[in-house]
Amino acid sequence: MGVPLLLLHMFLRKKKNSSGSVSVQIISKSSGKYKVLKTLGSSMIEQDLLKLSYLAKQEIERLSYQPKLFISENDTIVEQVFSSLNNANIKTVGPELIFGRIYDSIGFGNIKEDLFRHLVISRLAFPLSKLKTIDYLYRFQGLLLDIDTVYRFLDKLNNQLKDQVEQIVFAHTLRVLQGKVSIVFYDMTTLYFEASDEDDLRKAGFSKDGKHQNPQIYLGLLVGLGGYAIGYDIFEGNIFEGHTMIPFIEKISKKFNLNKPIVVADAGLLSKDNIKVLQELGYQYIIGARLKNEPEKIKKQILEKQLGNGQILKIKEQDNTRLIVSYATNRAVKDEHNRKRGLQRLEKQITSGKLTKSNINNKGYNKYLKLEGDISIQIDYEKFNSDKSWDGLKGYVTNTKLSNKQVIENYKNLWHIEKAFRMSKTDLRIRPIYHRLKHRIEAHICISFTAYCIYKELERVLYKEKSTLSVKKSAELTHNMYQITYILPESKHTKSKLLKMDDKQAELYNIISKNF
């Protein structure tokens, strides 16, 4: 039976039992009737009865929600301590407790620039514009900075720190991968700007993000197995992405003495020139193939084979290379779904009259468009239906000695770099970029690259400890981890203490304390 929230007429009763013992009870009186609310116990020993009576009084106080009539001396001291506190005594320390520990563990603590540390950690916890970051640093860290101080720091950051950041990151990746980087993964993405004018770095070009009207740059990223970062570079926005791979890999390989690792890259970077140069330089590679661009003889050979789920076809090509083709039923289902969705989008655009001659190209599902007469744009359903025969097929070009299955498995690791880009663009909000000057753009990306490496390390230890926390949720948990600083009234010593955390915060804090 439940106890009412407000029980103003409760009192303690000692009832003698027939056995000679005494029961200690809490009773209430309502409408002239007595009711036993709780029996604390019974005993014949006076000392036990005193103890039971004390517990009963405590229980009555708890149930009645009535404060004591008089404030004790201890209460007064506590009140005096709290009356001396203000907002400055309570500080958000979660970002530094979590991300700061990882920052130091990776080795970034060797960078003797406090502002760099603050900008990186604030990008992890509160990915904001530089102006809003200043507000965050003042409100949550007690650091008073002006925007000009931050911009002056950004002006010098990239030239001074990019090389040191990459050296620290590579050393960390080597430790995680147990001293060996024998395979690397390269990909590019576009980063657009909220500005309408171009300059030497920001150029209008093909945007993977669909922001063709915005100036953009290319960001190239090289990672090892598992997506652990090695290095990055920035390219003009109008460059052909296939032209970036060889110079970048050569530069990073020489910088870190990688000794010609196997290079894995997406089909978008595949060209005869790239393959030729990679071979001339002595690199082994695994590059995604565009099967529909293969010679007719090869395409016929692939389709005639009619591969089943999990089956593989190997086709020898020139210069000791081979084309590997695999088929997966789940990939076929996904390909068909995407084709139909693309078709439906085109049908809606045709109905609305939004398509023009300029839309007839080989980009995406626009390849299904055709021009009938001089002005009528129609869908080539025959071409759409013939594409079904390619659903589920995936190709790989390689000159390695790895088995066909090893080639496919290694290529699958490219999803780590795709995830790195997603993480940078969403969780770290690396885009859009509001800076205009080249060196500030480079500094912004250096900060984001450093933040990604910390994010990745947090992801690794969460997985290692079998935690259900995501990296994004962990970042959110840091927002409400507080520390209170106070002065002891008699000794006048200043003390700091972490406020009690909830269960998830405590789990995250314990994982970080254990691993770093």
pLDDT tens, residue by residue, 393-439: 999 999 999 999 999 999 988 888 777 776 655 554 554 444 456 77
How confident is the model at residue 402, as a pLDDT? 92
Of 264, 273, 313, 259, the closest CA to residue 291 belongs to 313
What is the reported pLDDT for 316? 84
What 8-state DSSP symbol labels residue 212?
T
Average pLDDT of the chain, as a whole number: 80
Question: Confidence class of residue 286 from pLDDT cuts 50, 70 and 90?
Answer: very high
Measured distance CA(118)–CA(124) in Å, rounded: 10
Question: Residue range 246-257: average pLDDT?
Answer: 88
Instruction: Kindly indicate the confidence band of residue 203, based on its pLDDT and cuts at 50, 70 and 90.
Output: very low
Which stretch of 166-180, 284-298, 351-365, 500-514 has the lowest confidence by average pLDDT?
351-365
- Spatial distance between the Cα atoms of 234 and 220, rounded to a whole number of angstroms: 6
User: CA–CA distance from 329 to each of 129, 299, 306, 325, 391 (Å)?
Assistant: 45, 19, 12, 14, 9
125 or 166, higher pLDDT? 166
Tokens 């869908």, located at residue? 379
Average pLDDT for residues 47-57, to the nearest whole number? 78
pLDDT average, residue stretch 340-355: 80
pLDDT: which is higher, 77 or 392:
392
| pLDDT at residue 362, rounded to an integer | 62
Interatomic CA distance for residues 292 and 301, integer angstroms: 12
Whether 356 shows a pLDDT value over 70: the answer reads: no
d(C-alpha 36, C-alpha 33), whole Å: 10
Proportion of the chain above pLDDT 70, given as a percent: 79
- Average pLDDT of 53-67? 73
Give mean pLDDT, residues 212-241. 74
Strand order in the sheet with 322-327: 229-236, 216-223, 183-192, 262-265, 285-289, 393-398, 322-327, 312-316
Q: State the pLDDT confidence band at 50, using cuts at 50, 70 and 90.
A: confident
Residue 67 has a pLDDT of 58
Distance of CA 508 to the CA centre of its chain: 15
Cα separation, 86 vs 142, whole angstroms: 13
Angle at CA of residue 446, ends 442 and 447, nearest 5°: 120
Using the predicted structure, report yes or no on whether residue 9 has a pLDDT greater than 60: yes
pLDDT at res. 309: 94
Q: Are 450 and 111 in contact (CB under 8 A)?
A: no
pLDDT of residue 4: 46
Place of tokens 């979590």: 98
**Rounded average pLDDT over 164-181:** 92
Mean pLDDT of 226-234: 87
Please tell me the predicted confidence (pLDDT) of residue 196. 43
* Stronger pLDDT, 469 or 269, i.e. the higher one: 469
3-state secondary structure 454-465: HHHHHHHHHHHC
pLDDT of residue 435: 45
The per-residue b/e assignment along 295-331, b for 16 or more CB within 10 angstroms, e otherwise, is eeebeeebeeeebeeeebbebebeeebebbbbbbeee
Please give the pLDDT value at position 66. Answer: 56
Q: What does DSSP say about strands 262-265 and 183-192: parallel, antiparallel, or unpaired?
A: parallel
What average pLDDT does range 151-161 have in this prediction?
Answer: 77
Q: What is the pLDDT of residues 442-463, one digit of tens each?
A: 888 888 889 989 989 999 999 9
Predicted confidence at residue 425, as pLDDT, reads: 57
Cα 196 to Cα 457: distance, rounded to the nearest angstrom: 37
What was the pLDDT predicted at 69? 56
For 164-178, 204-218, 222-236, which range has the lowest pLDDT when averaged over its residues? 204-218
Instruction: Check pLDDT > 70 for residue 200.
Output: no
pTM above 0.85, yes or no: no
Task: State yes or no: pLDDT of 198 exceeds 50.
Answer: no
Question: If you average pLDDT over residues 218-245, what whole number do you get?
Answer: 78
The alpha carbon of residue 288 and the mean position of all alpha carbons in its chain are separated, in whole angstroms, by: 26
Is the pLDDT at 195 greater than 60? The verdict is no
Percent of the chain with pLDDT over 90: 26
